Amino acid sequence: MKAKIAVLAGDGVGREIVPEAIKVLKAVAEKCGHAFTFTQGDIGGQALEKVGVPLPQDTLNLAKQSDAVLLGAVGGPKWEGLDYSLRPERALLGIREALGLYANLRPAKLYPNLAEASTLKKEVVEGIDILVVRELTGGIYFGKPKGIEKLPNGSERGTNTEVYTTEEIRRIAVVAFEAARRRRKKIVSVDKANVLESSELWRRVVTGVHQDYPDVELGHMYVDNAAMQLVRNPRQFDVMLCNNMFGDILSDEAAMLTGSIGMLPSASLGAQVGLFEPIHGSAPDIAGKNIANPIATIASAAMMLSFGFKLDKEAELVEQAIVKTLDLGYRTKDIQSPGMRVVGTTEMGDAIVRSLG
């Protein structure tokens, strides 16, 4: 297949890890007979320096005209004092909104041999492979009324509104069921239906969508129990379907089970172009030293292959190459352990390309 990929490396380690993911995508394209083209765009602090805004219109146009977006990271201490409208991080919200990315997919997978990186016991986390599907453009972060108002007695009142429509719930549920079909076919939908009406509707709509996916097992869990079960017995989960706020919290909890932020990819999907990025930031403390772990970004490229282009076989090749490289003992500094071979960012990228065979 042919695909146009917009490349937004951004700031800090973004500029080091994204080229490694491109290396891997090029190798996969060559191996499997695909034609991927890569076009660089500006985003974040780097765009701010160049053209005065963190998300230039040219970048948005490029993203919209592409089949997928590969993003590194944005931000850094240099821009921390700026007004919020100019902060590099604004570009993330801007591009997500412009592309209508309503579904955020975050896998939390523990690679073999990395169990010791988790703060939980090895026997609890070994073998976990969870996908959190989070609704990204609705719920309490966007609902109205919202704000802080002064009361006549001099006190103040802060308000946010948790609101979901049938359509918003249905489309994120469809993403979760489709994803489950390509995994172990099991969904736990997270809500607080014992207390919240919006959750009652959520549960009803998700149950309705389930009728179209009889091959997928659906369970429901209250969010407080889900938070507990994630640390008690995380292996019970395959896909966790969450609203915006519950997904925000539980995806961080699930991610941390695996121990290393440098390993975790994400995909944000909408009606058309998907955006694929590591979950970590620009890591200014290690930027420019060739020590950042590129695996989160390479795994994001694998998500691009499967969720963006429906190239599941190719995505699996990349996943297997990551596993093989770790099995061979290659480690970047953040995941090093005694007896392993510590390599830099570019060497890890090269080793994964070699493991593709």
What are the residue numbers of the active site? Answer: 141, 192, 224, 248, 252
| End-to-end C-alpha distance for the chain, whole angstroms | 20
Residue 186 burial (C-beta neighbours within 10 Å; 0-12, 13-18, 19+): middle
CB of 142 to ligand NAD, least distance (A): 19
**Residues binding ligand NAD: number (CB under 6 A):** 22
Q: Binder to ligand NAD among 13, 103, 226, 351 (CB under 6 A)?
A: 13
Q: Binder to ligand NAD among 251, 293, 300, 306 (CB under 6 A)?
A: 293
Q: Binder to ligand NAD among 94, 100, 143, 284 (CB under 6 A)?
A: 284
- Per rule CB under 6 A, is residue 98 in the interface with ligand NAD? no
**How far is it, in rounded angstroms, from Cα 92 to Cα 105?**
16
- Comparison of 56 and 201: residue with beta carbon closer to ligand NAD: 56
- Per rule CB under 6 A, is residue 54 in the interface with ligand NAD? no
- Per rule CB under 6 A, is residue 281 in the interface with ligand NAD? yes
- Per rule CB under 6 A, is residue 19 in the interface with ligand NAD? no
The structure tokens listed for 187 are 């969904």
- Comparison of 198 and 293: residue with beta carbon closer to ligand NAD: 293
Q: Binder to ligand NAD among 118, 198, 244, 282 (CB under 6 A)?
A: 282
CB of 247 to ligand NAD, least distance (A): 16
- Comparison of 123 and 285: residue with beta carbon closer to ligand NAD: 285
Contacts of ligand NAD in 323-352 (CB under 6 A): 334
CB of 290 to ligand NAD, least distance (A): 11
- Per rule CB under 6 A, is residue 280 in the interface with ligand NAD? yes
CB of 302 to ligand NAD, least distance (A): 16
What would the 3-class secondary structure string for the chain be? Answer: CEEEEEEEEECCCHHHHHHHHHHHHHHHHHHHCCEEEEEECCCCHHHHHHHCCCCCHHHHHHHHCCCEEEEEECCCHHHCCCCHHHCCCHHHHHHHHHCCCCEEEEEEECCCCCHHHCCCCHHHHCCCEEEEEEECCCHHHCCCCCEEEECCCCCEEEECCCCCCHHHHHHHHHHHHHHHHCCCCEEEEEECCCCCHHHHHHHHHHHHHHCCCCCCEEEEEEHHHHHHHHHHCHHHCCEEEECHHHHHHHHHHHHHHCCCHHHCEEEEECCCCEEEEECCCCCCCCCCCCCCCCHHHHHHHHHHHHHHCCCHHHHHHHHHHHHHHHHCCEECHHHCCCCCEECCHHHHHHHHHHHCC
- Per rule CB under 6 A, is residue 283 in the interface with ligand NAD? yes
Contacts of ligand NAD in 256-275 (CB under 6 A): 261-262
- Comparison of 58 and 252: residue with beta carbon closer to ligand NAD: 252
CB of 87 to ligand NAD, least distance (A): 8
CB of 294 to ligand NAD, least distance (A): 7
- Comparison of 109 and 280: residue with beta carbon closer to ligand NAD: 280
- Comparison of 297 and 306: residue with beta carbon closer to ligand NAD: 297
137-145, 159-167, 202-210, 289-297 -> range binding ligand NAD (CB under 6 A): 289-297
**How far is it, in rounded angstroms, from Cα 269 to Cα 103?**
5
**How far is it, in rounded angstroms, from Cα 357 to Cα 73?**
29
Q: Binder to ligand NAD among 76, 107, 138, 234 (CB under 6 A)?
A: 76
67-75, 154-162, 203-211, 235-243 -> range binding ligand NAD (CB under 6 A): 67-75
For residues 269, 270, 274, 279, the Cα torsion angle rounded to the nearest 10 degrees is: -40
The structure tokens listed for 117 are 């990186």
CB of 216 to ligand NAD, least distance (A): 30
Interaction site with ligand NAD (CB under 6 A):
13, 17, 73-76, 89, 92, 261-262, 277, 280-286, 292-293, 296, 334
